[in-house]
């Protein structure tokens, strides 16, 4: 094992992990389109190898005494001090593994549903994976921005080409929302870098996160730049009132698109707050915190209430995402250990649980070609395994103690309580609402007598296949493991949280 660790350490492992999917996509481009099964298997192998490599990277993170492990830094655009700078810590390591895990699961889950333009689909998906990994691993603001934008294009294509009937409206809305936020962030990045250049007289390190943290003192710049960063991230999370693109995108996206959207893309926003917006502009973040907390609570309550009245399965889960992601921003802006621990846990758990739910909705859709809740009923009597799995993920989403959803929300509420008991109280009430809409959903779809619509499907209403179980099992196992031992995770990112809290308090690195 130590040989392996050494070998991993000798590689530019972060570049390998980030770029392997892209290289794989280029390789797949060379396979003729007439061989779809070769393409599918190649994409699965590439994404699975990436996953294994990211797992092998994990143990190494603790061995580094510096904040970021496996750092790689080479000059890229020397005139402006822009570097290709990658690094990983516990927080980004966990999100990288979540990304690589969901990527191969999504690719496997796309084997059946994606039958047209298979080659283009898997190429888009692998480029998307590179973009997401790059966002989590970049420590240079310019590089981060480039990966941030790269994510946009394949997702645009995935929704727009392989999506549902209203896919074009949904995908353009998704891109325009994201682009408005990110372009203003670009101006803020350039302004921040320039202020560093003015202060030090050199462009060296002007785009480097590690060099910039704690050096931006001008309050106007802090406020404006934080507002721009926060807008970009708030749209991605999405926070109320910037969430309206999400239900459309989720409903129209193909299953794997929904999974990666909920599982990883929304996390880019939360990660952006923790890694970039708050450590760079702590004073402004403190000033904006009350507003962010209010918006988070609105999102939590609003998402839950709107979810109750949804008639479409996917849309219901999309709104529940708005509610659940509200806990993430609430925890982050509590600025205490419990809140931030909880926010990160909630990001990872939401990534596991909601991804599972979207996969399950997709599995059901493959059989029924419908997602109308009113048409369902008594499904459990025909497909007990499917119903049991659905129930498991729903309970995890409700926050049942013992499953991973609980720890995150509990910690966030604890953190929020320390800041403002009223806020915590309001958010706690919503956990009851969550139980209402999720359990009511289960009742309407799975219990009771078999509905005429499902009966009409006859033998087509089969139970889950082994491949489908293979996509769900890893998620379920991790939900149980992290539900029993959340400390497995909180321990891993404790140093990141400590660093974050120090910078959020306006501190400077020792």
Partner 1 sequence: MNDLLTIAPLLSVGLTAVAVLLSDAITPNRKYAPISVALAGLGITAWILLQQSGGVVTALNGAYVGGPFVAYLGLLGAAIVAITLLISPDHLFARGYPSAEFAATLLFALCGTILLAAAADLVTLFIALELMVIPGYLLAGFAKRDPLSTEGAVKYFLLGSFSSAILLFGIVLLWGATGTASLTEIAMSLTSLTTGVPPAVAVALALITTGSAFKIAAVPFHYWTPDAYQGSPTPITGYLSVGPKIGAFVLLIKLFLIALLPLADVWIPVMVILAAATMTLGNLVALTQGNVKRMLAYSSIAHTGYLMVGIVAAGAGEASGIAGILFYGAAYALMNLGAFAFLAVIQGRPGATVQLSDLAGLGRKHPQIALLAALFLLSLTGIPPTAGFFAKAYVILSAVQAGGLAAVLAIVAVLNAAIAAFYYLRVIVYLFMRDPAETDVQVATSPLLRAGLLIAAAGTILLGLLPGGLIEAVVQALAS
C-beta closer to partner 1: residue 27 or 474: 27
Nearer to partner 1, 159 or 387 (CB): 159
Q: Which is nearer to partner 1, 115 or 443 (CB)?
A: 115
- Is residue 87 helix, strand or coil? strand
Query: Nearest-5° angle of CA 339, CA 344, CA 347?
Result: 120
Alpha-carbon gap, residue 130 to 46, rounded angstroms: 12
Find where tokens 């499904």 sit. Answer: 379
Our CB check for partner 1 shows the closer of 195 and 334 to be 195
- Please answer whether residues 60 and 40 qualify as being in contact, where contact means their C-beta atoms are separated by less than 8 angstroms: no
Q: Which is nearer to partner 1, 185 or 380 (CB)?
A: 185
Q: Are 361 and 314 in contact (CB under 8 A)?
A: yes
Among residues 380, 382, 375, 384, which one has the least CA distance to residue 446?
380
CA distance 481 to 489: 10
* Smallest separation, CB 191 to partner 1 (Å): 5
- With beta carbons less than 8 A apart as the criterion, state whether 500 and 340 touch: yes
CB of 183 to partner 1, least distance (A): 4
| Distance of alpha carbon 228 from alpha carbon 408, whole angstroms | 28
The one-character DSSP state at 264 is: I
Minimum Å gap between C-beta 322 and partner 1 is: 23
Q: Tell me how far apart the alpha carbons of residues 48 and 100 are, in angstroms, rounded to a whole number.
A: 8
Q: Which is nearer to partner 1, 134 or 408 (CB)?
A: 134
What is the contact surface with partner 1 in residues (CB under 8 A)?
A: 76-80, 117, 145-146, 149-150, 152-153, 156-157, 160-161, 167-168, 171-172, 175-176, 179-180, 183-184, 186-187, 190-191, 193-194
| Cβ closest to partner 1, residue 118 vs residue 332 | 118
Q: Write down the least CB distance from residue 370 to partner 1, Å.
A: 23
Based on CB atoms, which residue is closest to partner 1, 219 or 290?
219
* Centroid of chain to Cα 481: 20
Judged by beta carbon, residue 166 or residue 449, the one nearer partner 1 is 166
Residue (146 or 494) nearer to partner 1, CB: 146
CB 467: neighbour CB atoms within 10 A? 11
CB of 189 to partner 1, least distance (A): 9
- The two three-digit tokens of residue 502, written as one number: 């120090």
Q: CB of residue 501 vs partner 1: minimum separation in angstroms?
A: 31
Tokens linked to 169: 């409206």
Which CB, 20 or 352, lies closer to partner 1? 20
The per-residue b/e assignment along 423-444, b for 16 or more CB within 10 angstroms, e otherwise, is bbeebeebbebbbbbbeebbeb
Minimum CB–partner distance for residue 110 and partner 1 (Å): 18
Tell me the closest approach of the beta carbon of residue 151 to partner 1, in angstroms: 11
Alpha helices in 13-86 (DSSP H): 13-29, 36-63
Is the separation of the CB atoms in 395 and 473 below 8 Å? no
CB of 127 to partner 1, least distance (A): 12
Our CB check for partner 1 shows the closer of 257 and 303 to be 257
- Buried b / exposed e over 78-87, threshold 16 CB at 10 Å, is eebbbbbbbb
Angle at Cα 201 formed by Cα 195 and Cα 203, nearest 5°? 70
Nearer to partner 1, 159 or 274 (CB): 159
Would the CA dihedral through 385, 388, 390, 396 be positive or negative? negative
In whole angstroms, the minimum distance from the beta carbon of 17 to partner 1 comes to 19
Backbone angles phi, psi at 243, to 5 degrees: -95, -5
Closest listed residue to residue 234, CA positions, set 181, 290, 278: 181
DSSP letters, 170-235, are HHHHHHHHHHHHHHHHHHHHHHHHHHHHHHHSS-TTTTBHHHHTTT---HHHHHHHHHHHHHHHHH
Tell me the closest approach of the beta carbon of residue 148 to partner 1, in angstroms. Answer: 9
Nearest-approach distance from CB 210 to partner 1, in angstroms: 21
Give the burial class of 272: count Cβ atoms within 10 A of its Cβ; 0-12 exposed, 13-18 middle, 19 or more buried. buried
Q: How far is the CB of 164 from partner 1 (least distance, A)?
A: 12
Residues contacting 314, CB < 8 A, separation 6+: 250, 251, 258, 358, 361, 371
């Amino acid at each position: 094992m130590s040989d392996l660790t050494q070998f991993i350490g000798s590689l530019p492992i972060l570049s390998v992990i980030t770029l392997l999917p892209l290289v794989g996509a280029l390789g797949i481009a060379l396979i003729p389109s007439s061989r779809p099964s070769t393409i599918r298997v190649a994409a699965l192998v590439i994404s699975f190898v990436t996953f294994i490599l990211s797992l092998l990277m994990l143990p190494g993170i603790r061995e580094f005494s510096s904040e970021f492990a496996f750092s790689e830094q080479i000059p890229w655009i020397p005139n402006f001090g822009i570097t290709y700078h990658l690094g990983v810590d516990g927080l980004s390591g966990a999100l990288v593994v979540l990304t690589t895990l969901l990527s191969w699961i999504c690719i496997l889950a796309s084997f059946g549903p994606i039958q047209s333009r298979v080659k283009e689909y898997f190429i888009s998906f692998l480029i998307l994976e590179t973009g997401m990994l790059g966002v989590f691993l970049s420590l240079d603001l310019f590089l981060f921005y480039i990966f941030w934008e790269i994510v946009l294009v394949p997702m645009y294509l995935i929704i727009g080409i392989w999506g549902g009937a209203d896919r074009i409206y949904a995908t353009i809305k998704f891109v325009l929302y994201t682009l408005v936020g990110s372009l203003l962030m670009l101006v803020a990045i350039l302004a921040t870098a320039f202020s560093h250049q003015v202060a030090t007289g050199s462009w060296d390190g002007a785009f480097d996160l590690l060099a910039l943290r704690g050096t931006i003192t001008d309050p106007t710049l802090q406020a404006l730049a934080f507002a721009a960063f926060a807008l970009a991230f708030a749209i991605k999370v999405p926070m109320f009132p910037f969430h309206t693109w999400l239900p459309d995108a989720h409903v129209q996206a193909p299953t794997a698109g929904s999974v990666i959207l909920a599982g990883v893309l929304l996390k880019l926003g939360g990660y952006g707050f923790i890694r970039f917006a708050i450590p760079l502009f702590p004073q402004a973040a403190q000033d904006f915190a009350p507003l962010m907390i209010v918006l988070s609570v609105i999102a939590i309550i609003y998402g839950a209430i709107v979810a109750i009245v949804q008639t479409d399965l996917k849309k219901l889960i999309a709104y529940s995402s708005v509610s659940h992601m509200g806990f993430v921003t609430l925890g982050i802006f509590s600025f205490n250990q419990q809140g931030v621990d909880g926010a990160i846990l909630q990001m990872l758990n939401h990534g596991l649980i909601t991804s599972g739910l979207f996969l399950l909705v997709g599995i059901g859709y493959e059989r029924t070609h419908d997602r109308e809740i009113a048409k369902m009923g008594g499904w459990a009597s025909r497909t007990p395994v499917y119903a049991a799995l659905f129930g498991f993920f729903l309970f995890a989403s409700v926050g049942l103690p013992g499953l991973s959803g609980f720890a995150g929300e509990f910690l966030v509420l604890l953190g929020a309580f320390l800041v403002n008991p009223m806020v915590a109280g309001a958010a706690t009430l919503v956990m009851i609402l969550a139980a209402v809409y999720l359990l009511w959903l289960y009742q309407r779809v799975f219990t009771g007598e078999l509905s005429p619509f499902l009966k009409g499907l006859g033998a087509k209403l089969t139970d889950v296949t082994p491949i489908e179980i293979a996509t769900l099992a890893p998620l379920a196992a991790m939900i149980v493991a992290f539900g029993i031992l959340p400390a497995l995770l909180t321990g891993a990112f404790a140093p990141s949280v400590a660093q974050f809290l120090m910078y959020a308090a306006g501190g400077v690195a020792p």
